[in-house]
Structure 1
């Protein structure tokens, strides 16, 4: 079990916050399959922007199961504190601080992983947020700004010192973006040097990956990001492996098809017709990429702007794929 502040999670498997991906339908689905915590998409610390339709969909939903975690990003301590306070008012039970995003549009504003260059500012932001709210605050960050500047141990110690309740570390630097392979030695060193829960993130694709990383780093939990695209049941697979020691098969093609269709319907219901069809495309693409190597299935699906037609096209494609696998 993994505890974050007063919350004891059902497992040590978490879904990483990902912009444009971890919306409410996807968070709910991953939690159904065993993700013990699913943090929201990144929200700007500028609360004046939260009135937009896009921002409203990123705020944790009141019907969402507890604990509800929201991630905020910014570079001004007071603004981050205000965003944290507003998040709690909107129903967040945990506030997560983003110091890991490598995207240029975030780093150019001196937010995300760009903050790792300024350890004084890191401390000021973390302290401001912890002081502003009475709920657990967590931190997600990278191993450093560049390979020659891996300062994750120092940042982790700052986090523990100011009252951060848990940290998640992606095993790449900001300069690495998502290239190459994650490294876990830095994460192992962090775990050796702090007493708060440490969660490893990066390149966890299979149960064997997960077992190796936990054994090597001795971290308290694992956070999955891209590995969950198109296969939210991976949390169930990892959970089964940890319980039994045996590698579980994927759900059968019929079960997977039903999950895909239910997920698309949930996206349509949550966003409405136009936005729902557009948002669903990326998830449909990821599901199909994991089920078939034939790109032709996507053509009809991606060309429609009607939710009913999109759903029907996916249903037809899944039916054909199922026949080819029996």
Structure 2
């Protein structure tokens, strides 16, 4: 079968995606053995599939295919007439992976298990027609933050994103680099040092959040539909958005990196956390903060944040 040709994907992407659907979850080496390719070639193919929203990375070394009825439908909307042939064969793709039970009643649905959570998050993002609101904070599947590749595809199709980042979401240089890529693609990004409550909301009509904030389990989430509860979740997001520090367009007086450093500093992050997020050393952070304080005429870091905001640097 060569089902993905109408969406602009080649034979390699087609074979790896179908193999991953059949395996359900697999590592790069396992997929390479299935399709008869090399590990580096399969890894490059997985990167292209991730960019289209067809594949999710599960932890550092394992991948899972997004259910076809979710991911392919989003591609159909973006490709329109070019995907007419694929639309006729979506049922063929869907049969390659069994559907889990879905509770259609009530305003709340339990997403139980890694697969259910990943499918729910993909469904939420690709169901959005105008805006996605996200608080990127623990708990994370696999124990660590993973780049939201689907966001780049959705931004390219015109979906707006407002994202509040907790410090843990920017713990590595890779995480911060992905944030910068999303911001360059149109994401409105802010940083909140304390009290970030994880959630994702699509068009204010669907939300996903942990079952508990006091005892969070990354593999168990609530999917919330229109209700008073959903209204409260949206209000909670807006409260966090208002408290977070914006990372906006660059100011003429400072570089992009200085602006990013000041935003992270103003959010309350410590030098070590800032250094990890920016991929530099603690000493470099301390030295540049001292230089910026001198440039601003500030005596304290708090005052530096206030003065930077007044100058429009944040």
Normalising by structure 2, what TM-score? 0.31
Q: Greater Rg, structure 1 or structure 2?
A: 2
